[in-house]
Structures are given as C-alpha cells and as structure tokens.
Amino acid sequence: MQNSSTNVMAPPTHGHGAIAIVRASVVASGDLTQRFPQGSQLVRMIPGTQQTADVLTPQFFAVADPRVSFDGSKLLFAGQKQQGSIWQIWEIPAAGGTARQVTHCAVGCVRAVYLPTHEIAYTSLRGVGAARTSDVYVSAESGADAHAITFGPGMFEVETALRSGRLLLSSTGVDGHARALSVVDPDGSGLALLRQDDGAGEIRGAAEELADGTIIFVKRPTSHATTGALEWLHPGALRAVTIRGAESGYASVATLDDGQLMVSRSGALYSVDLQLSGRQELVYRSAKGAGVQAVAIAAHAPVEAYRSILHPERKTGRLLCLDASSTEDVASGRIAGHVTRVRVLAKEQTGELVLGDAPVEVDGSFYATVPADVPIRLELIGKKGEVVKAQRSWMWVRGGEDRGCSGCHESQALAPENRSPMALTRFDTPSSLVGNAGKAVRP
C-alpha cells in the first residue's frame, strides 16, 4: 500500500489539527478480527487542506483501534501484518515511521488504550467463531508484565480510559448477544455496570468520555449491524438518551482537541458542534474507502493514576452487602419474603460449583469470604430453602478486595442508608465460602 492523496472537504467552522483515521473499503460486523475483511489503513491527515493523506501502515494488511499517547507523539493500534495472521498491538510515531510490536498474543489482541505510569490496557481474544471470548489485560508499554484484570465468562472489551483512572469496558450480557457498558479499576477490582441498560440484543460500544464526564457511545440494534444511533449518558443520569438528530447510521465517535466531536456516518467523517444543536459539517469523504475511528493527534491530559490497594498474594476477597432485599426490580423496592441466606456459586467448565451459604441478618446484610479471580454469582435463599432471587450475570473479587454493594440490583438513584450493617457488628470474621472441593453442582 502506497501513500496517496485523498479527497478532503473544506474545513468546518473550527479548524482542526492532524487526525488519524482508519480507512477501509469494507466494514463488517461481528468478530473483532473480521471488521475489515478487505484490509484497512491507518491514515494521517489534516482536515480542510490539500495536504497528502499519509498512510502510516503500508506494511500492514489491516489495522484498527488507533489511540494517541498523552503527549501526542505516538499512536497505539491493533494490526494484522498479513491477511489471516494474528492481530497484535503495535505502536508507531505519530509522524510516521517504524511500527513496534507490543503484544505477542496467541489468538489475537485488539482495542488498546494508554494508561498512566507507562502502562496500556488491551483486549485479549480466546477461542474462535461462536466460541470466541475475550478478557482485558494490562501490561507495561513494552508489553512486559501482561496480566488479566477480568475473569468472567463472555467477552470483555476495552472502550476507553476515563479521566478518573477507571476503565470503561463493554461486555456481553446474560443472553450472550447484548453488550452493556461497565467500569472497572485498572487492577480488576470494583467491576460495576455504568448504568442499568435494557434492550435484548442491543450493542453499546465505541464509547468516549466528554470533558464534563458525559459518556457518548454508539448503540447498534443487533450484533449484525455495523452502525447505530449516538447516545449519551450525562453524569448522574440513570438512563442514556439518543442525541437529537443522531438516530441512525453512526459507526464511531471521537472527541477532538477543541471539544467538538468527529463522527463516522455513511463512510464519511463529520465534525459535530454540540453547542450548535448538533450541527454536522463534512470533514472527510474519499472514494478510496470509508473513514472510521478518527482520533486527534494532539497532546491531552493524562487520566488519573490509579493506586491499587489489593494484595495479589491473597487467594480470597470479601463480599459485604448492606441489604440483600433492596432491589430495583419490583415497585416496592424490596424483595417479597424473608431472605435467610445467600448462596455463592462459582463458574466451572463442567457446570456450577456451590461454594456455600452465608447467613443474611434481619437488616438484610451479609459478609462472606470468596475465592479470588473466579467467576461467581449469588442466589438469595428463603425460609424454606427456596431460591428467592438469582443473579444471572457473573462477577469476581480480586485478591484482598473488599467488594461492597447496597443491595440486589439496587436502584442507582438512591444512596444507601447510613447505618452499620449487623453482619459486621455481630461477627468478628466473614463467613468462609471457599468451596466444596471439586463437586460441580447444578442446582
């Protein structure tokens, strides 16, 4: 692939510096490794000029997911050297030059972001076809000391690094098709849904954070769709809403250095001024291919550095719930019937392993020790031993983590009551639920 000129339209109201885009003749849905079946290029250009659009990756068959370093000097991207070869994470000078391979993944790695303290987070793939799963890994920028920070079944993918230092992820729901947005600390602790999302089969991704903390993303109707509506979730809001005038046809969204957005729609790139009723102005269109995944090549403030307080040498973590009967799923806000115990189950290849039960106090609180880095879910047990409510999704606790929750699918609009839970005042130590060695049980 050789450098070539590109048809670039006149600049919008506000000029922009250099941007990098992924240019591809075909954009497909589904498997992350098959998004660009006819190949793609990482292109550097300055919108609104006649400057030649420089192809930064002429030695690659396909590229995806560009990210700019905090000082604006480097680009991180996923690349496939030859058609059919394994996707890896690479880094290249923003002005062009020789790409450096960062990862050496066995199946493939995509969707990486820069972290402070010279680290990166990326999506590591496992399996093929319908059996494809993925986890999020963190490593040094050199690729050394790579370690997983997600442990649940399904697909966890990196979206972006938030200003708070937390990672924004997308992950499959219980049906294996819908994708919701979650946040997690860079050490893998504190996994939580960003907000409660409804809609079977809907895919939420291509997410970015605006300067005021608003999360903007593309919501596609199904996993087979390549485009969708632009939605945003304002700080403190319980639900995301569709941006007026941005109801369909969007493939990606990015923030620019002047606070505007760069969106990909129908293969072209548009600048969006959110202060002017979302007015869109054409920035790029080319017969050589669709432009997606634009990023501004400019220095920007690093995200906050996260200081982990985990104890990696420990093999367990602890769960503390303030009121297991509190839930958003019923109008009354509380689960009907008295909950006496909480049961913890672990995910195994052959089924589910019951780790044990912990007592639930009369105020609804419980306190338990569980194995670290193991997918677990909870069931609430009534007086007669019946399952009153069962968690359908999987979570985990890291070594030495104290993971707390207000209730069972509790309302995110309400703060927990300011009181000391009985589970802490009546017991010196948590209930130990570390398993019944090797007995896979399917209750």
Structural fold of domain 19-296:
Neuraminidase (2.120.10)
Tell me the three state secondary structure of residue 422.
Answer: helix
Decide if pLDDT at 443 tops 60: no
Query: Distance between terminal CA atoms of the chain?
Result: 57
Condensed to tens digits (0 to 9), the pLDDT of residues 237-247 reads 888 999 888 88
Decide if pLDDT at 419 tops 80: no
Query: What's the pLDDT band for 333 if we cut at 50, 70, 90?
Result: low
Condensed to tens digits (0 to 9), the pLDDT of residues 367-396 reads 999 999 999 999 999 999 999 888 888 899
| pLDDT computed for residue 31 by the predictor | 84
In this predicted model, which residue has the larger pLDDT, 440 or 287? Answer: 287
Six-digit token string for 177 = 């098709």
Lowest mean pLDDT among 124-128, 281-285, 331-335, 338-342: 331-335
Taking the domains of the chain in order of start, what are their residue ranges? 19-296, 316-432
Decide if pLDDT at 441 tops 50: no
Q: Where are the alpha helices (DSSP H) in 218-359?
A: none
Residues 6+ away with beta carbon under 8 Å from 11 = 47, 48, 49, 283
Q: What is the mean pLDDT of the chain?
A: 85
Could you tell me if 138 and 186 are in contact, meaning their C-beta atoms sit under 8 angstroms apart?
yes
The amino acid sitting at 112 is A
| pLDDT computed for residue 244 by the predictor | 82
Six-digit token string for 211 = 């300067």
- How does 19-48 read in b/e, with b if 16+ C-beta sit within 10 Å? bbbbbbeebeeeebbebbeebbbbbbbbbb
Domain 316-432 in this protein, CATH class: mainly beta
| pLDDT computed for residue 412 by the predictor | 58
Decide if pLDDT at 143 tops 90: yes
Task: In whole angstroms, give the CA distance from residue 111 to residue 261.
Answer: 20
Task: In whole angstroms, give the CA distance from residue 395 to residue 194.
Answer: 14
Phi-psi region of 249 (alpha: psi -120 to 50; beta: other; left: phi over 0): left
Lowest mean pLDDT among 257-271, 287-301, 372-386: 257-271
**DSSP-assigned letter for residue 439:** -
Task: In whole angstroms, give the CA distance from residue 342 to residue 344.
Answer: 7
| pLDDT computed for residue 87 by the predictor | 98
Tell me the three state secondary structure of residue 32.
Answer: helix
Strand 376-382's sheet: what is its strand order?
351-359, 339-348, 376-382, 387-390
For the residues 152-175, what does the mean pLDDT come to? 89
Lowest mean pLDDT among 107-111, 144-148, 285-289: 285-289
The string of DSSP codes covering 160-196 is EE-TTSPEEEEEE-TTSS-EEEEEE-TTS---EESS-
Decide if pLDDT at 230 tops 50: yes
Lowest mean pLDDT among 52-56, 167-171, 257-261, 383-387: 257-261
Condensed to tens digits (0 to 9), the pLDDT of residues 59-80 reads 999 999 999 999 999 999 999 9
| pLDDT computed for residue 438 by the predictor | 39
Condensed to tens digits (0 to 9), the pLDDT of residues 23-61 reads 999 999 878 899 999 999 999 988 766 566 789 999 999
**DSSP-assigned letter for residue 131:** G
Task: In whole angstroms, give the CA distance from residue 109 to residue 89.
Answer: 6
| pLDDT computed for residue 280 by the predictor | 81
Helices and strands of the chain, counted as H and E runs: 1, 32
**Tokens 């050589």, residue located:** 288
Residues 6+ away with beta carbon under 8 Å from 415 = none
For the residues 295-313, what does the mean pLDDT come to? 92
